Amino acid sequence: MKTNVAESLVSITKRILENGIQHSTPLERQKNILRFNLFLVFALGVIFSSLLFNFLNQLYFSAVVNLGGVLLFMVAYFMNKDGNLKQAKLLGIITINVYLFTISYVEGLRSGQYMLFFPLLLALIFVIDIRKNSPEVILTSVITLLTTVMIFILAPYQNNLQNIPQDLYSGLFSTNLALALLLTTVFAYLILKTLEKHEEKILEEKMLADTIYDTSLDAVFIVNASSRLITDCNKRALEVFGFNSKHSVLQQPVVELLGIQVEEYIAGFSRNRFTRNSAWYGNMDFNRQNEVLFFAYVNIVPFHHHNDLYCKISILDITEIKVAEFEIIKAKERAEKAVMVKSRFLSNMSHELRTPLNGIIGTSNILLQEDYLESQKPYLEVLKHSSEHMLHLVNDILDFSKLEAGKMELENNSFNLKDFLKKAVNPFITGAANQKVRLLVEIDDALDTNIITDEMRLNQVINNLLSNARKFTEEGKILVSAKAESVKSQSVQVLFSVQDTGIGIPPTKVRQIFESFTQADTETTRKYGGTGLGLAISKHLVQKMGGELKVESEQGKGSNFFFTLELKIAKNQKAYVNEEKLKELINLAGLRILLAEDNPINMIVAKRFLQKWNVQVDEAVNGLQAVELFNKQSYDLLLIDLEMPEMDGAQAVAEIRRLNTQIPIVAFTAAVYEDMHNDLLHKGFTDFIPKPFRPEDLHRKILQLTAYEKLQQFKYG
């Protein structure tokens, strides 16, 4: 029972003292509220005791004053409970002063009520935070001083408002004296404990600051801005600069330890220019005591202390970072050099491989168009197929190199999508005629429209997927489909799909097949061949066109490669070449072309095709001869190789452009390099034909650049 009562009293006391404190109340405010509540409890206890004493002794005027004090302090208590601490504190200060003045006036100075001012002053010191609330301190001091003066001026020594016997006066004086001493002792103790806690907190904060200061990764120096002397430093400063103790640093001129540059920055922080935002930071280099140079990141912050201007200099040793940066720069330079070497190597190898391939492919095409023995046809077709396969491999390696370096740019061509798909599939229909594989084509009728994208790269993707399907399908079928998923006024969304019934891909290898130089397994590579670049290139190209190449496959049952592209519709535009006439490679009689080529085989091949189309050809074996012929004769188009003796292609074009800026000039080259198309345009070329060339590609370029069909219509129409 006693335990329950004690616990109840403790709980009630705790609730009273924590009046006005919420879970979200900041810690500092909680302390202020606790002090104020403690002050209210003491004040209420004293006044309530006086109230009982006065009633017992029939001092009713004094009792009324005490009752008024109790009521006002209760109002202050509830104001604090509602969160109005400032107003509650002000009411408490006014109440205690009014109460002491009134009770001293009613009972007279002889009762000694004024002696309660001594504990009151201590209570005010306890309640009010002097450091942060100077207006409250001033207001309280003024009110208390005025009240004290008014008591001694206005209050009588002994008042006759109520009957106070002489012996009771002696009791009142003794009681008030004892109460004043008791309260003074209590509040003095509380103040001393508070100061002790403040001191401990200050010491803890100082220890924390010292710990942070001395364990910082920065070397820190404190410099007096006026004298330019170092007044303090941390342990890291001694370690970084190689000093044994602070005695070697303190009171030393900053210029001797940290250099003239630091001193100049400190000099700039004069008092009339000092602002809070005037800190400086940047990179510097310093010398250690052993004369070893090191690099550092420096921060100089000015601040005031005891009316003097100081600068805090933080120095972070970044030597290792700088060394790493130098190594990265060197590695970057080496990598860039390696890329340049690789680019030059690929360009040279391209030129060296394409030049003989041009002769082989050109010759095989010429032979297939000439009279030959029927028994020779299979060998000629093998020759053509093998050389074109070799060209395909070379192109794959160069394309992948450009994609890897992020240098491949897409072109925008206008062409009929349905006609394009038929043309893309046609070579595979011919190739699959003698196999146990059926090639099926499904093209949505909605795709019979002109769209804008890179025709050559889209054809490359379809070609790669069909090549793989045919390679890995020994019997069954290959289905090529293109479906319009959605058609808008400005664009069409097309789902392209190449599905086969071939060997399929194991689930664990699906991701791997899109990696460069990789096939599903080594057995596949040995059996079917290939570089493993086709799918990697196709995936990159589809991504550049805004889609994603995906695959669904089951081992032994086949694969389905598909992707979706959003293609812009070319309104009122038609393909720039008449495809039907192109198939027949129409006669180009009446055109005169200058062909500049230093390689005899390439000259023979190109000249033979041009002559088959009844083009009049003039030959030049170097750039100088080409310029001379151009000065003597009028031409419809120039075919000029880039690399020739005497004068190269670019120099020859520069000379020709001085005379004629309109004539079409086509670069006839086996070279491949970065941003080739823009570079050739900048040098004065109109277009280019890569070696080895296909006859139909050369024919298309001539038709396009000379507007031959329009010219014929003009002549004969």
* Residue 573 pLDDT greater than 60, yes or no: no
Residue 414 burial (C-beta neighbours within 10 Å; 0-12, 13-18, 19+): middle
Q: Where are the alpha helices (DSSP H) in 292-406?
A: 319-369, 377-404
Q: Where are the alpha helices (DSSP H) in 235-318?
A: 235-241, 254-258, 260-268
Tell me the three state secondary structure of residue 604.
Answer: helix
The distance of Cα 563 from the centroid of its chain, to the nearest Å, equals: 30
Select the more confidently predicted residue: 454 or 714: 454
Q: Cβ distance 210 to 202 under 8 Å? A: no
pLDDT at 690: 81
Q: Cβ distance 111 to 50 under 8 Å? A: no
Select the more confidently predicted residue: 293 or 121: 293
Select the more confidently predicted residue: 560 or 200: 560
Identity of the amino acid at 37: N
pLDDT at 2: 55
Q: Which CATH superfamily is domain 580-716 in?
A: Response regulator (3.40.50.2300)
Burial letters 606-624, b for 16+ CB under 10 A, else e: bbbbbebbebbbbebbbbb
pLDDT at 44: 75
φ/ψ (deg, to 5) at 13: -60, -45
526 band by pLDDT with thresholds 50, 70 and 90: very low
pLDDT at 583: 46
pLDDT at 404: 62
- The predicted model gives 583-595 an average pLDDT of 80
DSSP 8-class letter at 253: B
Q: Cβ distance 399 to 540 under 8 Å? A: no
- The predicted model gives 602-624 an average pLDDT of 88
399 band by pLDDT with thresholds 50, 70 and 90: low
pLDDT at 49: 75
Residues sharing a CB contact under 8 Å with residue 59, sequence separation 6 or more, in sequence order: 53, 107, 162, 164
pLDDT at 616: 92
The distance of Cα 402 from the centroid of its chain, to the nearest Å, equals: 26
pLDDT at 716: 36
Between CA 580 and CA 583 the distance in angstroms is 5
Q: Across the strands, what pairs with 554? A: 558
Domain boundaries, given as residue ranges, for the chain: 2-206, 216-317, 326-398, 409-569, 580-716
Give the architecture (CATH level 2) of 216-317: 2-Layer Sandwich (3.30)
pLDDT at 272: 52
pLDDT at 712: 46
Tokens at 118, concatenated:
């001594």
Q: For the chain, first and last CA: distance in Å?
A: 126
The distance of Cα 214 from the centroid of its chain, to the nearest Å, equals: 35
Q: Cβ distance 127 to 96 under 8 Å? A: no
pLDDT at 676: 77
Select the more confidently predicted residue: 289 or 581: 289
Q: Which residue is it, tokens 């200050």?
A: 202
Q: Which of 331, 332, 354, 330 is CA-nearest to residue 673?
A: 354
CA angle, 539 then 522 then 346, to 5° = 55
Q: Cβ distance 615 to 638 under 8 Å? A: no
- Among the residue ranges 93-97, 152-156, 210-214, the one predicted with the least confidence is 210-214
- The predicted model gives 697-716 an average pLDDT of 66
The overall average pLDDT reported for the chain is 77
* Residue 661 pLDDT greater than 70, yes or no: yes
Nearest 10 degrees: CA dihedral of 669, 675, 679, 681? Answer: 80
Between CA 45 and CA 50 the distance in angstroms is 9
Q: Cβ distance 517 to 532 under 8 Å? A: yes
Select the more confidently predicted residue: 401 or 48: 48
Between CA 302 and CA 142 the distance in angstroms is 39
388 band by pLDDT with thresholds 50, 70 and 90: low
- The predicted model gives 510-535 an average pLDDT of 57
What count of other Cβ atoms lies within 10 Å of the Cβ of residue 104?
A: 29
CATH fold, domain 409-569, is: Heat Shock Protein 90 (3.30.565)
Model pLDDT for residues 31-87, shown as the tens digit of each residue? 777 777 777 777 777 777 777 877 777 777 878 888 887 888 788 878 877 778 778
Identity of the amino acid at 17: L
Q: Which of 64, 54, 44 is CA-nearest to residue 175?
A: 54
Between CA 317 and CA 419 the distance in angstroms is 68
Between CA 123 and CA 121 the distance in angstroms is 5
As a 3-state breakdown, the chain gives helix, strand, coil percent values, each rounded to 5, of: 60, 15, 25
Alpha-carbon dihedral sign for residues 231, 237, 239, 243:
negative
Residue 34 burial (C-beta neighbours within 10 Å; 0-12, 13-18, 19+): middle
pLDDT at 301: 87
Model pLDDT for residues 354-372, shown as the tens digit of each residue? 667 666 777 777 776 676 6
Identity of the amino acid at 623: G
* Residue 344 pLDDT greater than 60, yes or no: yes
Between CA 442 and CA 447 the distance in angstroms is 11
Domain 326-398 -> CATH class: mainly alpha
Select the more confidently predicted residue: 119 or 667: 667
* Residue 488 pLDDT greater than 70, yes or no: yes
- Residue 637: which H helix or E strand, with range? strand 637-640
Q: Cβ distance 534 to 472 under 8 Å? A: no
* Residue 602 pLDDT greater than 70, yes or no: yes
CA angle, 29 then 34 then 38, to 5° = 150
What percentage of the chain reaches a pLDDT higher than 90? Answer: 8
Q: Where are the alpha helices (DSSP H) in 545-599?
A: 579-584
Model pLDDT for residues 456-482, shown as the tens digit of each residue? 788 888 888 888 888 888 888 888 899
- The predicted model gives 96-120 an average pLDDT of 77
Q: Across the strands, what pairs with 232? A: 222
620 band by pLDDT with thresholds 50, 70 and 90: very high
Q: Which of 117, 111, 115, 121 is CA-nearest to residue 62?
A: 111
Tokens at 283, concatenated:
């990179």
Between CA 252 and CA 134 the distance in angstroms is 41
Tell me the three state secondary structure of residue 551.
Answer: strand
Identity of the amino acid at 531: T
Q: Across the strands, what pairs with 493? A: 486, 566
DSSP 8-class letter at 643: S
Model pLDDT for residues 111-169, shown as the tens digit of each residue? 777 777 777 666 666 666 555 556 766 777 777 778 878 888 888 887 777 777 777 77
